[in-house]
Chains A and B, each alone.
Chain A
Amino acid sequence: MEQSRILPWRPPRVCEDYWSEFRHCKSLLNKFHHYYTYGESPSCQQWSQDYKNCKQWESHKDLKAKEDLQQSERTRVAEQQQFTPVWKLRKEPPKDWHLPLNQEKSQEF
């Protein structure tokens, strides 16, 4: 995707998304699922903080709020990547992914 001009910065997510994520995180069902998976309660405070920073940016263009929000999201991304992959990723899908079925295997069983 080419960007021919720099767009003004805006929060990575719509502010209401942070709030709905916070509420979802705090919900009983989510707490249950989290305990079932990880054996502990989820930590939801960051979503609330992100929502506050998001609103702060929207209303006052607060630079500190922007930086805190960006940092929070980067941490979130890093947390999702905290593992060494078992396999090597492809640069593009397999060549035969869309080939019609009859053309693929020349093998006779």
Chain B
Amino acid sequence: MSTTCNGVWTDVSGAEALILSEGFSTKQEEDYGYDLFPERNKSKYKKGSITESLFTFNHKCQVMLQYAIDTSKSRISAIQVFKDRHFACEDCDGTVSGGFDAASSQIVLCQNNIHQQSHMNRVVTHELIHAFDHCRAHVDWFKNYRHLACSEIRAANLSGDCSFSNELSRFHFGLKKHHQECVRGRALRSILAVRKISREEAEKIVDEVFDSCFNDHAPFGRIPHSKKDAKFAYRHYESRDRYNANI
């Protein structure tokens, strides 16, 4: 079976989300953010009762996820992400909205913290960018903080997490180049939430990789601020064969 990683398409959206990595001891679970996702550890593949499946946050999460995949301008195409294999709705601690579990190549959606469709869209987008990075590059989520920072910068940049309206809703008022400030800030927060390093160290790492990662717009070729950006980016992706053959 041939698979590629080019072509993760989603609407503009964003979320607070974390990136997990491989970690096995309890201390390492805390060190790498797994303690925020308690269901990742225990009997994670058990099936629930009918009641659980119909009347719980889990059901609502599944429904919203399906909607996010089907109805937005999302195209989960050549990355070959399958809903049942690569997505999981679980309860999480704190206010985290989702995460990417590199150990199982799975996107975790926090069913107890995502209650609106627009929020679901944002989290899915954000995590798909992590999944895309994991798929197309040798990302060392576990040991290389630069890699972690880079993926967080890209996810905050490209998912719409830092859109003007989302920032306004957080009472962050800024206009000129504020997008970059937001991306920096959210990447920093994401790193600090899952890794035990100092703020200064995290800031230094984000600064080191910012220029490179902020300008890496794969697979979109642009920062999709609006539905039209997303539409044009997808249009370009669909005609990539013609483009590459005639350039």
- Give the interface of A toward B (CB within 8 A): 1, 3, 7, 9-14, 17, 20-21, 24, 29-30, 32-33, 35-39, 70, 73-74, 77, 80, 82-90, 92-94, 96-98, 100-102, 104-105, 107, 109
**Interface pair B217/A36, CB less than 8 Å apart:** no
Interface of A is mostly: loop
Residue of B whose beta carbon sits closest to that of A73: B247
Q: Which of A37, A70, A73 contacts B223 (CB 8 A)?
A: A37
* Contact A94 B105, CB 8 Å, known A73-B247, A85-B216, A87-B137: yes
In the complex, B211 has a CB within 8 A of chain A: yes
A17 vs B231: C-alpha distance when bound (angstroms): 12
> Chain B nearest CB: distance from A107 CB in Å?
5
**Interface pair A101/B247, CB less than 8 Å apart:** no
**Interface pair B232/A101, CB less than 8 Å apart:** no
Chain B 26-45 against A: per-residue CB contact (8 Å), 1 yes, 0 no?
Answer: 00010000000000011001
> Chain A nearest CB: distance from B206 CB in Å?
12
Question: Nearest 7 A-B pairs (CB), nearest first?
Answer: A33-B225, A39-B177, A83-B212, A37-B179, A109-B41, A87-B137, A86-B150
User: Could you say which residues of chain A place their CB within 8 Å of the CB of B176?
Assistant: 35-36, 39
In the complex, B197 has a CB within 8 A of chain A: no
> Chain A nearest CB: distance from B32 CB in Å?
13
Subset of 21 A-B contacts with CB under 8 Å: A12-B243, A13-B236, A21-B232, A33-B164, A33-B225, A37-B223, A38-B177, A70-B247, A86-B212, A87-B133, A87-B150, A89-B138, A93-B135, A94-B134, A97-B3, A97-B135, A98-B1, A98-B3, A101-B106, A104-B103, A109-B24
Residue of A whose beta carbon sits closest to that of B212: A83
**Interface pair B177/A36, CB less than 8 Å apart:** yes
User: Could you say which residues of chain A place their CB within 8 Å of the CB of B226?
Assistant: 29-30, 33
New A-B pairs, 20, CB < 8 Å, besides A87-B147, A93-B5, A109-B41? A36-B178, A37-B180, A38-B177, A39-B176, A70-B247, A82-B215, A83-B211, A84-B212, A85-B137, A85-B216, A86-B212, A87-B133, A87-B137, A94-B135, A96-B105, A98-B1, A100-B85, A101-B106, A105-B104, A107-B24
Residue with the greatest number of chain B CB neighbours at <10 A, chosen from A38, A84, A87, A94: A87
Residue of A whose beta carbon sits closest to that of B243: A12
> Chain A nearest CB: distance from B22 CB in Å?
9
Residue of A whose beta carbon sits closest to that of B134: A94
> Chain A nearest CB: distance from B182 CB in Å?
10
* Contact A36 B179, CB 8 Å, known A86-B150, A89-B136: yes
**How many residues of chain B are within 8 Å of chain A by beta carbon?**
57
**Interface pair A90/B136, CB less than 8 Å apart:** yes
User: Could you say which residues of chain B place their CB within 8 Å of the CB of A88?
Assistant: 137-138
In the complex, B80 has a CB within 8 A of chain A: yes
